[in-house]
Structure 1
Amino acid sequence: MTTHTPTEVLSRVFGYDTFRGDQAQIIDTVVDGGDALVLMPTGGGKSLCYQIPSLVRPGTGIVISPLIALMQDQVDALGALGVRAAFLNSTQSAQERRDVETAYVAGELDLLYLAPERLSAPSTLSLLDRGTIALFAIDEAHCVSSWGHDFRPDYLALAVLGERWPAVPRIALTATATEATRADIVTRLGLGRASTFVSSFDRPNIEYRIVSKDNPRNQLLELLRTEHAGDSGIVYCLSRKSVEETAQFLTRNGIPALAYHAGMDSRTRAEHQSRFLREPGLVITATIAFGMGIDKPDVRFVAHLDLPKSVEGYYQETGRAGRDGNPATAWLAYGLQDVVQQRKMAATSEGDAAHKRRLGQNLDAMLALCETVECRRTQLLAYFGQPGSEACGNCDTCTAPPETWDGTVAAQKFLSAIVRLAQRRQRYGAGHVIDILLGKSNARIESLDHTSLTVFGIGTDLDANQWRGVVRQLLAQRLLTVGDDGYGTLELTEESSTVLRGEREVRLRHEVAAAATRRSRSSQKAKVDDVPLDAAGEALFEQLRAWRGETAREAGLPAYVVFHDATLRQIASTRPTSRDQLAGISGLGAAKLEKYGDALLAITA
C-alpha cells in the first residue's frame, strides 16, 4: 500500500476526519519506531492504534491475538476497507497457510494475525524473518500478567519479540489493567522504554446496576422484557450447566438465545458466535470463554448471573456492551451463595500463598464494588487509578441511593452463634446458623441439641432473607470467612473480635427492591452525539438498515462490518445525492465508497 500520513490513512481507509483521545500521539510514537503500552477502554479505538501504523510503516504489521475464533471476522472487516489482511491459525488447511505465508514473504499483506502459541514454533519465527515486519501489536496484553484476570502462559514467550527483533516497534494494548498488572506487562514483555498511554476508563453510556439475587433467571427475564426487548446481549454464568439451562430458559420464554462454553465442540461454538455477530436480537449465554475481542457494536446489555472473580474481569466483560456509544446496561445479580462459593474457591485453589492472597484481594475489590453505597462508576474508576470522579447519575446507587443501618447488634448475634458452635467444635454454613437465630425447631437442629444454645431464637427481628444479606455483607467486610473444609462452613476472622467486644460499628446497607432500581428505556440517557432525524429521516434510516442487512447476508458478513448505525443515520440526515457528498460521511472510506456508493445513492436520491 502506498505510504500516506496517519491522518490521510484515517480518512481514506477508515472514513474518519479526526483522531480520538490519545490515538494520534500513540500512532505517531509507533510510526516513529517507538514502543507503546496502551490502556484504553473497550470501544475506545485501540485497533486503529496498530492498524494505521501498519499501513504507514514499510512491511507487515504482526498482530498477536488470543482470539482464533474471531480472526476471520477481523480480517473480513479489514478486507471490507480495502486492507490486505490475513491470519495464520489451526483452523486453516495446509494449502491455505502456505498461501498466506507466500503473500507475507512477498510483501503483499498489510496485517497478519497470529495466536501467541504460534510464536513458540521455530518455523513461525523463521517465517517472520523472511519478510519485512512493520510492527508487533500485542493485543489483550493483560494476558501476560498473573495479576490479570485472564492469564495465558503462552503470552510469556512474547518477550522473544523484543530480543529477536529489537529494531521493530512493539505496541501492547489492553482494556483493563491495574497498576500491578501494568507493571507486570512492562516487565514480562521487556517494555521498560515504552511510552505509556492511559485513557479514561469511563464508559458513560453504560448504566451499572447490581441487585440481590431473588430467582435470578426470572429477574433477568423481567429486565429483558421490560427494557431490552429485541436487543442483542450477553449473559455470563459461572458454570457450563448454568449457561445451557439459562439459554433454554430464555428460549422457552420467547427470547432467542444460544449457549457458548469451552465444553462445546469447536464447530458449534463457532456457529453460535457467528450467529450472534450476524443476527439481530440474539442473546448469547456464556462462560467467560466468550467475548474477548468481540467487535459487535450494538450489544445493548451484559448481564451476570454469578459474581465475577475480579473487578478487571467484570469491567472487561461489561465493556462489551454499548461499543457504539448508545445507552447500554451492565446488570449483575449476586447473593450470599456467590460470596461463599468464591471465598471457598479462593481458599481451596491450587497455587502458593501469594496466589491465594491475590485471589482474595481480587474478590475483596469485587465485593466492595457490589456493596458500596457510593457511586459505582466512581469506585470502578478509582480501582483503575482514576480517582476523584464525580457521581455519574447513571448507576443504581446514584438513581436509587441505598440506605444504611447500624447492623452492629445483628453482626454480634450472628458472630456469637459461630462462637457457640465452635465451643462445641462444630462448624456450619449460613443456612443452618440462620435457622438457629430464627429459632426454627426442625429435626436437624433438635438432633444436634442446638435448641439449647443461648443464641437460639434471638434473631427473629430479621427474616431469613435479611439475615442472608447480613451474612453476605459480613463476608464482604471480612468479619466472617469461609472455612477450608470444602463445605462452605463459616468461621470468625481476626477482625470479628472487635465487633464482639463492641469496639467496632458495623454499617450495613438495606436491600433495595428490584423494582426500585428498574428504569424504562425512555429514561435512559440518549447518546450525546446521536444524529436527530425527522419522520422522513427515520423512514430512510430504516430503508438503509434493510439494505445493509441484505448486503451483509449476501456477503456473509456481520451487518456492522458493512456500516455502523451512526454512519447510516448521518446518511439519512444529510440525504446525499452525489459521491462527493457521500465522501464526507464519517465512517465511509474510499473502498466502501467505491463498493457501496451507487447502491446508497439509489436509496437516498
Structure 2
Amino acid sequence: MDFQNLSPEKPDTSGASPETVLRQVFGYDAFRPLQGEVIHEIVAGRNALVLMPTGGGKSLCYQVPALVRAGTGVVISPLIALMQDQVAALQQLGVRAAFLNSTMDFQQARDTENALLTGELDLLYCAPERLLQPRTLGLLHEASISLFAIDEAHCVSQWGHDFRSDYLGLDILARDFAAIPRVALTATADERTRAEIAQRLSLVDARHFVSGFDRPNIQYRIAPKTNANKQLVDFIKAEHHGDAGIVYCLSRNKVEATAKLLDSKGYTALPYHAGLPSEQRARNQERFLREEGVIIVATIAFGMGIDKPDVRFVAHLDLPKSLEAYYQETGRAGRDSHPSTAWMVYGLQDVIKLRQMLESSTGNDHFKRLERTKLDAMLGLCEITTCRRQALLRYFGDLLENPCGNCDTCITPPQTWDGTVAVQKALSCVFRTGQRFGVTYLIDVLRGSENERIRQSGHQAVSTFGIGADLSATEWKSVFRQLVANGYLRADPDGYGALQLTETCRPLLKGEETVHLRRDPAEKKATGRSNVREQVTDPVGWEALRACRKSLADEQGVPPYVIFHDTTLFEILASRPRTLAELAQINGVGKAKLERYGEAFLITLAELDPATT
C-alpha cells in the first residue's frame, strides 16, 4: 500500500469538533438521528453499543471519533471485501486508512504495521482472527490507539444467523485495553442477541443506542411461488430493468441456473457462492460494485457489509431461515434512501425443506427450539394479512403505530376465507392415507384423480377420495402450505416429503376450532413501479454527470459511488453549481473531494449549460 498518497488533502482534524470533521472531511452539514449522540459518547472516551438499520450511517459513528481523537482507530470487520471497500472510500476523502488482511504480501503488511507504529494512520481495518494473533496484539500495545470499533457485532452471538467463532475472542479488548473506548455496531439484533452482544463484549454497562429499524424507502412484497423463474424475470423487466440488484437462492446449483437464466434474458447476471474459485468470486463482486446495472445471484455467503448504495432490489427465490436473515439481506437494497424493493416468492416446498433441515441438524434441543421459533416468525411474516412492516419491526422491538402503506398487504389488502371445512378434509386425507405421502399425492386423492399410483395403493376407496374436487390444485397447495406454516402439519424429518399430523391439529379435526386462511391473490401483471432514473427530470444532464463520475472512478480503479453517491449527483444536477464554493455546499462534497473532482464536474456542468459560462 502506498502511504505516500494516502492523505495530502486531509485537514488536521485531531482535536477538532465532530461537526467540523463531518463538514470538512465527509461533506455533510448535520448528523443523522442518534449519530451525534453516539459520536460524542465515544469522543468522550466512553463505550457504546449501537444498533442502526443498514444505510443508517453506522460507519460515521466510529470514523468521525477516530479522526477527532488522538491515535489510530482500529476497526474489526468480518470480511476482506468490506474492509477493502471502506478503506478505498476513506482514502477518497483524504483519510489515512489501511487494512491488514491475507491479500497482502509480507512487505505490504510490514509497511502497514510501520505506519501504525509511527502514527501515520487514522483508521486500521482487520478481521477478528487477524487481530487476535499475538503479533497484532503486540503491535496494538505499542501503538497509540484512539478506539476499537467492532462492526457486524451480531457475529458474536452463538444463536445469531451469522455467528463467527473468532468474535468470541474479542473480549480480550475489555481486559487488555480497558482504557480505550470500544463501540460495537450492528443492524440486525433482536433483544436476545443484543443482550448476548453486551455480555460477550463487556458492554453491559455501556450506553446502548438503538435507532429505529424502519427502512421506509423499501417496499416489502411476498407472493406465492407459482413459476419462480418467470415471476422473477417479469418482476425485473417491469420494475427494475437496468438496475443493480441481488437475487438470493438457497443452493449453489440454483444460483448458477438463475444467473444463466437472467443472462439469457439480456441482463448482466453473475453467480456468487462458496463453491466458486475465490478469484472468480472476487472478480464477480468487483464487477457488481464497479459496473452499472449488474445483478448478483448468490447464496447468503454474499453481501455482509456491502456498501454499494444503489442496489435497487433484493429478490429471494427461497425462504430465509429467520427474520434476522431476511432483514439483513433485504437491507442491502436502497442504502441511498431512494425507492427500492424487497421481493420474495415462497411455497410449500420451501417450508418443508427448511423444517427438514432444522430437524435433521446436529444441534441440541435448545438450539432446535430456538431455530423453530425463528422459522415460525419468518413464516408468520409470509402468511400475515396485516401490514408486513409493522410485523417485521415488532419482531425487533420497534413500534410502528400505523400501517406503512408501502408493503403489498397495505397496497392490496389480502382476502381471507373460512377454511375450516377444507382444512378438515386435508387433515383427514393425511390421516386416511397413513401419513406417508407428499402434497402432490394428497391433492390427487382429494380431487379424485384416478391415476396408476392411487389405484395401486387402493386409496380410491378411502373416504376422502374426491371430496375436494371443489378446489383447484393451486388452491389446495395454498391450504397445505398454510397448514405446514402454522404448525398443523409437519414434514417427515427423514427427508421424503411425507406430511404428518401434529397435536395442534386435533381441535380442528374434532370441530372444536375454526380457521381462516389467506386467499392467495390471482397473479397480476407487474405495475412497472418507477425506478430512480425515471425520477430524473434532466436525463441528458444525469447521464453526463454519471459519465464524468465513471471516468474518474475508472482512472483510479474504484467503484463509481466512492467518488459520489447518486444522492450527491442528484443534488448537483438540481442546483447546477458554477463555482467550487457553490459545489462545496452540496451534501457529500468534502474538502478532499472538492479539490480532486470539483473542476471536472464544473466543466461537465458548463458543457451542459454553455450559455451560463
Q: Same fold (TM over 0.5)?
A: yes
| Matching residue of 1:376 | 388
Q: 1:388 Cα deviation (Å)?
A: 4.1
| Matching residue of 2:244 | 232
| Matching residue of 1:203 | 215
Q: 1:244 Cα deviation (Å)?
A: 0.5
Choose the corresponding residue for 1:432, options 434, 441, 450: 441
| Matching residue of 1:558 | 559
Query: Which deviates the most, 301-310 or 112-121?
Result: 112-121
Q: Residues of 1 paired with 2:278 and 2:507: CA distance?
A: 53
| Matching residue of 1:67 | 79
Contact 1:381 1:387 in 2 (8 A): yes
| Matching residue of 1:589 | 590
User: 1:349-360 alignment to 2 at 5 Å?
Assistant: 349-360=361-372
| Matching residue of 2:514 | 505
Paired AA for residue 21 in structure 1:
P
Contact 2:318 2:345 in 1 (8 A): yes
Q: 1:569 Cα deviation (Å)?
A: 2.1
Deviations 1:128-166 (A, max 9, x none): 111111111111111111232111111111111111111
Paired AA for residue 476 in structure 1:
A
Distance 1:498 1:41, change over 3 A: same
Deviations 1:186-227 (A, max 9, x none): 111111111111111111111111011111011000011111
Deviations 1:476-497 (A, max 9, x none): 1111112222212211112110
Matched, 1:129 2:141: yes
Contact 1:473 1:508 in 2 (8 A): yes
Choose the corresponding residue for 1:326, options 327, 332, 338: 338
| Matching residue of 1:572 | 573
| Matching residue of 1:141 | 153
Q: Residues of 1 paired with 2:500 and 2:541: CA distance?
A: 64
Query: Which deviates the most, 274-283 or 140-149?
Result: 140-149
Matched, 1:22 2:30: no
Q: Residues of 2 paired with 1:278 and 1:388: CA distance?
A: 36
Matched, 1:263 2:275: yes
Deviations 1:103-144 (A, max 9, x none): 001111111111111133211111111111111111111111
| Matching residue of 1:165 | 177
Q: 1:432 Cα deviation (Å)?
A: 1.7
Q: Residues of 2 paired with 1:509 and 1:5: CA distance?
A: 55
Deviations 1:534-569 (A, max 9, x none): 64xx53333211111111111111110001122122
Q: Residues of 1 paired with 2:42 and 2:70: CA distance?
A: 12
Matched, 1:338 2:339: no
Matched, 1:492 2:501: yes
Contact 2:73 2:147 in 1 (8 A): yes
Matched, 1:519 2:527: yes
SS state at 2:259 partner: helix
SS state at 1:127 partner: helix
| Matching residue of 1:8 | 20
Q: Residues of 2 paired with 1:595 and 1:387: CA distance?
A: 44
Q: 1:179 Cα deviation (Å)?
A: 0.5
| Matching residue of 1:254 | 266
User: 1:14-413 alignment to 2 at 5 Å?
Assistant: 14-413=26-425
Paired AA for residue 81 in structure 1:
L
Paired AA for residue 66 in structure 2:
S
Contact 1:533 1:573 in 2 (8 A): no
Paired AA for residue 457 in structure 1:
G
Contact 2:356 2:495 in 1 (8 A): yes
Q: Residues of 1 paired with 2:158 and 2:418: CA distance?
A: 39
Q: Is there any run of 5+ residues in structure 2 with no aligned partner, and where?
A: 1-11, 607-613
Q: Residues of 2 paired with 1:450 and 1:120: CA distance?
A: 63
Q: Residues of 1 paired with 2:524 and 2:287: CA distance?
A: 33
Contact 2:129 2:166 in 1 (8 A): yes
Q: 1:69 Cα deviation (Å)?
A: 2.2
Q: Is there any run of 5+ residues in structure 1 with no aligned partner, and where?
A: none
Paired AA for residue 363 in structure 2:
G
SS state at 2:345 partner: strand
**Number of residues paired by the alignment?**
594
| Matching residue of 1:445 | 454
Query: Which deviates the most, 588-597 or 144-153?
Result: 144-153
Matched, 1:466 2:466: no
Q: 1:575 Cα deviation (Å)?
A: 2.1
Paired AA for residue 572 in structure 1:
L
Q: 1:601 Cα deviation (Å)?
A: 2.2
Q: Residues of 1 paired with 2:206 and 2:388: CA distance?
A: 32
Contact 1:440 1:457 in 2 (8 A): yes
Q: Residues of 2 paired with 1:339 and 1:56: CA distance?
A: 50
Q: Residues of 1 paired with 2:479 and 2:505: CA distance?
A: 14
Q: Residues of 2 paired with 1:123 and 1:519: CA distance?
A: 58
SS state at 2:138 partner: helix
Paired AA for residue 502 in structure 1:
G
Paired AA for residue 130 in structure 2:
R
Q: Residues of 2 paired with 1:340 and 1:365: CA distance?
A: 15
| Matching residue of 2:549 | 548
Q: Residues of 1 paired with 2:463 and 2:29: CA distance?
A: 74
Q: Residues of 2 paired with 1:129 and 1:150: CA distance?
A: 30
Deviations 1:371-402 (A, max 9, x none): 00001111111111012431111111111111
SS state at 2:231 partner: helix
Identity fraction in percent: 58
TM-score by length of 1: 0.96
TM-score by length of 2: 0.95
SS state at 2:503 partner: coil
SS state at 1:303 partner: strand
